[in-house]
């Protein structure tokens, strides 16, 4: 497939074709996921949990993100690479610019920031300087200590109204993409319809423009033994990892994943 760009993702949204995204942290899996047809690889700070064994993403550093981004770039076969700015790596304008530059120079095509309406400022700053941004709303794991755990967000009407307004404000500020994590399916669907930029969901139901899962989760691997409601084990019925990755991309594309049971109600 030709290299995936932002324009490709926008066309997929316009044509109603689902976008398949997976996390990847190294060259071998970047190659396997991109060859399976995933349009987007996310070098997520989830690597702090699934690779390093921490109980949150907070310990992950910018050096580690740059290292894994460079590894993913070497194995990638045409997918668009998004890298997470880790915890507190975008708390000032100077940090935001310098740390985004680290990730872009390591091989990212876009950076991802977690937050809410306040992200408008860093998004504007980066977009004006040529760095596309994915804004991560809903359950934002870097804020787990404020949220009081990994819980569904946007269930109360006031919270839902705020999230809708934030999504539109961030699009207006220049966000290239939104990611909604653990948001009631109906709200995620409304947000995806309200904005023109692609909206990717994880635990956000079937109505978003695309889906992402953490690689280890969809391969049936879990350090804690706990499996989130929105995860499906794609190794079931497959005899190889490549088969499971292919099955994931196919299921996202044909709309069979996520099913209603993988989503949350308000």
Distance CA 92, CA 18 (A): 35
Does the footprint of ligand KIV cover residue 217 (CB under 6 A)? Answer: no
* Cα gap 183→165, rounded to integer Å: 15
| 210 in Cβ contact with 40 (< 8 Å) | yes
Under the binding rule (CB under 6 A), the answer on residue 46 touching ligand KIV is yes
34 annotated to bind ligand: no
Cα(212)–Cα(44) distance, rounded to whole angstroms?
A: 11
78 in Cβ contact with 34 (< 8 Å): yes
Residue 26 within binding range of ligand KIV, rule CB under 6 A: no
CA distance 131 to 97: 9
42 near ligand KIV (CB under 6 A): yes
| C-alpha distance from residue 232 to each of 44, 111, 126, 248 (Å) | 19, 26, 35, 9
Q: 45 among the known binding-site residues?
A: yes
Listing DSSP states for 26-81 in one string gives: SHHHHHHHHHHT-SEEEE-TTHHHHTT--SSSTT--HHHHHHHHHHHHHH-SSPEE
Residue (83 or 96) nearer to ligand KIV, CB: 83
Instruction: Give the binding range for ligand KIV (CB under 6 A) out of 44-52, 73-81, 155-163, 227-235.
Output: 44-52
44 binds ligand KIV (CB under 6 A): yes
The answer to whether 56 is annotated as binding is no
256 labeled part of a ligand binding site:
no
How many CA atoms lie less than 13 Å away from 64 in the CB half-sphere?
A: 18
Beta-carbon count within 10 A of 223 CB = 12
Residues 118-147 that bind ligand KIV (CB under 6 A): 136
Does position 204 bind ligand KIV by CB under 6 A?
A: no
- Binding segment toward ligand KIV, per CB under 6 A, in 40-48, 86-94, 122-130, 147-155: 40-48
**Is 250 marked as a binding-site residue?**
no
For ligand KIV, give the closer residue by CB, 87 or 120.
87
Say whether residue 183 binds ligand KIV (CB under 6 A). Answer: no
Determine whether 181 is an active site residue: yes
**87 or 195: CB nearest ligand KIV:** 87
Q: Does 23 bind ligand KIV (CB under 6 A)?
A: yes
Write b or e for each residue in 180-215: b if 16 or more Cβ atoms lie within 10 A of its Cβ, otherwise e.
bbbbbbbbbbbbbeebebbbbbbbbbbbbbbbbbbb
202 is a site residue for ligand KIV (CB under 6 A): yes
258: preceding bond cis by omega (within 30 degrees): yes
Active-site hit among 181, 186, 190, 236: 181
- For ligand KIV, the nearest residue by Cβ is 44
The residues carrying an active-site annotation are 181
Where along the sequence are the contacts to ligand KIV (CB under 6 A)? 23, 42, 44-46, 84, 136, 179, 181, 202, 212, 214
Annotated binding site for 3-methyl-2-oxobutanoate: 45-46, 84, 112
């Amino acid at each position: 497939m030709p290299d995936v760009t932002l324009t490709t993702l926008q066309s997929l949204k316009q044509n109603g074709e689902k976008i398949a995204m997976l996390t990847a942290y190294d060259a071998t899996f970047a190659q396997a996921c991109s060859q399976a047809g995933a349009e987007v690889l996310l070098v997520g700070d989830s690597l702090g949990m699934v690779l390093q064994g921490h109980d949150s993403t907070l310990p992950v550093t910018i050096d580690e993100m740059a290292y894994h981004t460079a590894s993913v770039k070497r194995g990638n076969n045409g997918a668009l690479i998004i890298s997470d700015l880790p915890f507190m790596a975008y708390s000032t304008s100077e940090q935001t610019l310098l740390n985004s530059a680290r990730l872009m120079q390591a091989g990212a095509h876009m950076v991802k920031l977690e937050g809410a309406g306040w992200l408008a400022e860093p998004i504007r700053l980066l977009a004006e300087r040529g760095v596309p941004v994915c804004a991560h709303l809903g359950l934002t794991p870097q804020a787990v200590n404020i949220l009081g755990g990994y819980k569904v967000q946007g269930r109360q009407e006031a919270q839902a109204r705020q999230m809708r307004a934030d999504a539109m404000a961030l699009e207006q500020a220049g966000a290239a993409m939104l990611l909604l994590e653990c948001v009631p399916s109906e709200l995620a669907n409304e947000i995806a319809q309200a904005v023109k930029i692609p909206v990717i969901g994880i635990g956000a139901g079937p109505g978003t423009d695309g889906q992402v899962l953490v690689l280890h989760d969809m391969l049936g691997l879990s350090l804690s033994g706990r499996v989130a409601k929105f995860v499906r084990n794609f190794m079931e019925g497959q005899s190889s990892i490549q088969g499971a990755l292919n099955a994931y991309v196919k299921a996202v594309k044909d709309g069979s994943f996520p099913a209603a049971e993988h989503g949350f109600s308000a």
